[in-house]
Amino acid sequence: MANFESLIAALSRARVDFVIVGGFAARLRGAARDPKDLDVVYSKRDRNVRRLIEAIRPYSPQWRFANGGTAFCWGPALFAEWDDLTLSTSEGWLDLIGCVVGGGRYEDLLRDSSRVTVGGHSCLCGTLPILIKMKRAAARPQDRSAILELEHLLQKHGE
């Protein structure tokens, strides 16, 4: 079972700049679905990337889709080369996103996020309108029902 709270706590303790998006953000905003992974958009500034690397290192990150769970060389160069890292960790699946479709980079998402508390840690989470916008932009068939649920929550609660 995934322990996303543990990953969020590690990122928060390390003062990593990130915004929670995707299914876990939808769950934090009231959606009923159980997310399969934790999606975070992170600041790609060098100091932040170094804090991110140190924060998740204890959770044995590996490429999620590599045969046999291939480990990789951690370092800022990896984060500079790749915008999206899909990882498997000891606490569950973690997607590190440099630029998300429909939402942009960390700095772009600041205006479309608000603080939430997860496991006693305050962190940024995408708002319902931006989560809907990202789901629409991704245009994946599996997102259709999620969009309907998020729109219902927005209509019911506003934001």
Task: Kindly report, residue by residue over 67-100, the tens digit of the pLDDT.
Answer: 555 555 677 777 777 888 999 999 999 999 999 9
Maximum Cα interatomic distance, the chain, rounded to a whole number of Å: 46
Closest-CA residue to 76 (of 102, 48, 39): 48
What does the pLDDT read at residue 142?
84
- Domain boundaries, given as residue ranges, for the chain: 4-157
Residue/partner pairs of 85-91 with CB below 8 Å, 24 or more apart: 86/37, 87/56, 87/61, 87/62, 87/63, 88/61, 88/62, 88/63, 88/64, 89/7, 89/56, 89/59, 89/60, 89/61, 89/62, 90/59, 90/60, 91/2, 91/3, 91/4, 91/6, 91/7, 91/59
What does the pLDDT read at residue 62?
87
How many Cβ atoms from other residues are within 10 Å of residue 72's Cβ? 12
Whole-Å CA distances, 28 to 24, 54, 79: 6, 26, 27
* Two tokens, residue 150: 């998020």
How many Cβ atoms from other residues are within 10 Å of residue 131's Cβ? 30
What does the pLDDT read at residue 149?
92
pLDDT band at 46 (very low <50, low <70, confident <90, very high): very high
What does the pLDDT read at residue 67?
57
pLDDT in tens, 100-111: 999 999 999 999
> Does the pLDDT value for residue 66 go beyond 70?
no
What does the pLDDT read at residue 82?
80
pLDDT in tens, 1-41: 589 999 999 999 999 999 999 999 999 999 998 999 999 99
Those residues with Cβ within 8 angstroms of residue 86's Cβ, 6 or more apart along the chain or in another chain: 37, 63, 64, 65, 93, 95
Residue 24, amino acid: F
What does the pLDDT read at residue 76?
76
Domain at 4-157: CATH architecture: 2-Layer Sandwich (3.30)
